[in-house]
Every structure is written in C-alpha cells, then in structure tokens.
Structure 1
Amino acid sequence: MDNSKRTVVVTGFGPFGEHRVNASWVAVQELKKLGLGGEVDLHVSEVPVEYQTVQSLVPTLLKKYHPLLVVHVGVSGMATTVTLEKCGRNHGYKGLDNSSFCPDSQCCIVGGPDCINSVIDMESVCKRVTASGLGVAVSVSKDAGRYLCDFTYYTSLYLSRGRSAFVHVPPLGKPYSGEDLGRALQAIIQKMLELLDQAEEKIHCQQHFH
C-alpha cells in the first residue's frame, strides 16, 4: 500500500421507495469517474437501505481501508440544493427499512451521545465551494432526517471519532444531473480534505512549540 496516498471512502445508497434509481449512488459513480486527484485513493461502496446492513458495513469499511475521511451520500426528496449535514443523531429511528425492519431500541448506538458533530466545519466547506463558482447550490443542515441517512451518519461518526461527513443530494433532474452532482461531490470532498490538512498542520505546529 502506498502510504503517501490518503484514502477516502465514499458511499451512496441503493434504491428505496419511489427512488428506483438512487441519485446518491449515481452521483458517487460519477465522482469515481472524476476521481479526487492522484494523491487520493478513492473507494466507493453502495449501501443497501437496511439498518442491519449499515451496522455491519460501516465498521467493515473502516477496518478495510483505514480512511482519512468517510463521506456518505444520500438522496432527499425535499432537497433542492446539495446539503452538507453537520451532525448525526442517535434516537428516533421509527421508519421501516427495505426489509421492513427498524431497531427495537429506535437508536443507533445504545448509550451513545444524543448527537455527534463531524470534525469538519461544514459552514466553511459550504462557503469555499460556493466561492469556487461550481454552478451547484450548496447549503448546510443540522438534521439528516432520522432515517437510514442519519442512522448511517451517526454510526460512522461514532466509529470514526467524527472523521465522517454526510451529503444529501436532490433527486436526479431536480435540478441537477448525475454529472453535476458528481462534480459537486468532487469539489466538496476536496475542500474537506484541505480543511483536514490545515487542522493537522495546526496540531503539528502546536506540538512543536510546546
């Protein structure tokens, strides 16, 4: 393994409900074509809309790839912008998944904190991407919706100690194409990596002076 490369894992969801083609997985496949530049090892994975699969898949991806960052992408029928989610929530999972299951506890991690924030400053990512003139509107949200998206995000934040992000995309053609969404994901993740680099540099500088 080339250790100079940084690894990023990006997931999209499979079909569910009226989303026979899930815009999130289309967007992630477009991102895979574009890549994140030569310095970054990008791995993508499609996630079925099932609580139990998410519970086993997220730790598997973390163990297999040891990523610097995990980015989950999901579709929201209500979204009109590409939306950066700040936090995942532990409680309130009552919606049944594709296998008509929901957790008895209605939570992600029994005894886990109510809410976990990403280590990435989503407002900053939003500002930077907007300033880059991408032609895709980006916004920030504090509520990932208490379904599989939120459940996946919380689980990932918990296991990665906050080194995760979640991006909601609108359905295809409302108004963006799969290519547009892929370009947006590329720009967003590149900005996230820049912010992580700056945070690392800060930590190194502080260690130097003490």
Structure 2
Amino acid sequence: MDSQSSCVVVTGFGPFRQHLVNSSWEAVKELSKLGLGSDTEVELRTLELPVDYREVKQRVTRIWEDLQPQLAVHVGLDAAAKAIVLEQCGKNRGYRDADIRGFRPDGGVCLPEGPEVIASGVSMKTISRRVAVEGVEVAFSRDAGRYVCDYTYYLSLHHGNGCSALIHVPPLSRWLPASLLGKALQVIIQEMLEEGRKPELKASFAENSISVTPAKGNQLGDCSFRENSVFQSCVQSFTVL
C-alpha cells in the first residue's frame, strides 16, 4: 500500500431484502456533503456497493489496487442495532446467507487459503470511547455478523494490511435521520485519522494490531490479539495527512 496516499474511501451498501432504502448508503451520501473537515488534507472518495458477494470481491480489490487509500471505511446496515457499532474483526468463514442474487460463497468461505480472523489496525474500543455525537450512542463489537458487510470487511482488511474499518449503523428513524448518521461518520473517521497521526499513539496502534490464528470451536466470535509488524504500514500511512 502507498504510504503517501491522501485518500480515504468510504463505502455504503445498496438495497437488500426488505430494506429498499439502506441507511448505510444514505449516511455515506450525507458524509460526502459534509466532507472530512477543513482541518484534514485528505481526499474523501465514496462508493455504493451492492449486497452481492462476487461484485463486492471485485470492487474491494479495485479499491486497494487502483486507489490505494490510507484507510477504507465500510458502512453497513444492522437492522437490529440501536447504536452505531464499530467492528474490530473480519471473519473468513460462515457465510451461509444468500445475497441479492441468491448466491452463497462456496463452502461459506471468503478466501479459501486465508486466516480465520483478521482485525483492523484501528482500536475500535478506543475510538468508541473517545467519540461523542449528541443523540448517538457508539459501541464496538468483535463479531460483524457473517453477511456481505463482514465479507467486505475481511477482504478489505486482507488487501489493505489492516488499514480498514467497518461501521454498522441502525435503520433510519425519526431519532436517527441520515443527516445525523452522516455527522456521526464524519466525527468517527476524523477520530480514526487523529488517533493515527499522533506520534505518541503509534505504540498503542501496534499493540492493538494482531496476527491471526486459526479459530477453534466457538472462537470465531473472538479476536486473538498480539503484536504483528504487518500492521505497521497501517500506522505509518495514517501519519501522512
């Protein structure tokens, strides 16, 4: 990945099942109007992804090969969520639900030779504790649900050496309109970039980076954390803003 990149890619998803309006893409559209703030020299690129495993695999690969972002943030809808949820891990197996075209990955696997779990170089727990958006609760999770969102995240973490994030947002409501979700995304991504560019926090990022180990039994819901130099490129790229 090009450590000199000044591009941040943010994606949302299109309609699926009964969700004819996907709050994730509505929130990303609002973010595109707001930008990432005048104090950051980062180009914001936004993209709508279909809820389609095969198409997602192609588009995520192109994001990392063509745009080489310093950070890719994928936003998905969690219909049961009451808060915005920052996801720490992407999982390789367990993709049994069909996408909008009725397709399921062979064997329920994202990458047949890939590790069971990949975690972001961003500490989602730290970010969730630091951000504050009036009227919005922000939480973190280590299980992104094994659907196209999680599938996208795993691929992006794989291609981006951990320089990726997944944010689940609730459905739109009177209390959580797209404008508020877009503002929340702006604040969260600003915090991710701010965390990465503080020299004193490099050690913290390194500590929260992980190597991945095969999952056993019910461990798929957990991330096994230990220091791994492969994620140092993520820390380095965050510092160039």
- What TM-score does the superposition give when structure 1 sets the normalisation length? 0.90
- Corresponding residue for residue 59 of structure 1: 61
Q: Where in structure 1 do 4 or more consecutive aligned residues deviate above 6 Å?
A: none
The alpha carbon displacement at 1:44 in A equals 0.3
Q: Where do 1:3-152 residues align within 5 Å?
A: 6-38=6-38, 39-130=41-132, 133-152=133-152
| Secondary structure, aligned partner of 1:8 | strand
d(CA) in 1 for partners of 2:170, 2:98: 21
Q: CA distance change for structure 1 residues 169 and 202 in 2, over 3 Å: closer, same or farther?
A: closer
The alpha carbon displacement at 1:5 in A equals 7.1
| C-alpha RMSD of the superposition | 1.9
Contact 1:93/1:103 (8 A) holds in 2: yes
- What TM-score does the superposition give when structure 2 sets the normalisation length? 0.79
Contact 1:80/1:174 (8 A) holds in 2: no
The alpha carbon displacement at 1:4 in A equals 7.7
Per-residue Cα deviation, 1:88-126 (whole angstroms, up to 9, x for no partner): 000000100001000112111111111111000001111
d(CA) in 2 for partners of 1:112, 1:155: 10
List alignment gaps of at least 5 residues for structure 2.
Answer: 204-234, 236-241
d(CA) in 2 for partners of 1:143, 1:87: 7
List alignment gaps of at least 5 residues for structure 1.
Answer: 205-210
Aligned residue pairs, count:
200
| Secondary structure, aligned partner of 1:19 | coil
d(CA) in 1 for partners of 2:128, 2:166: 13
d(CA) in 2 for partners of 1:65, 1:200: 28
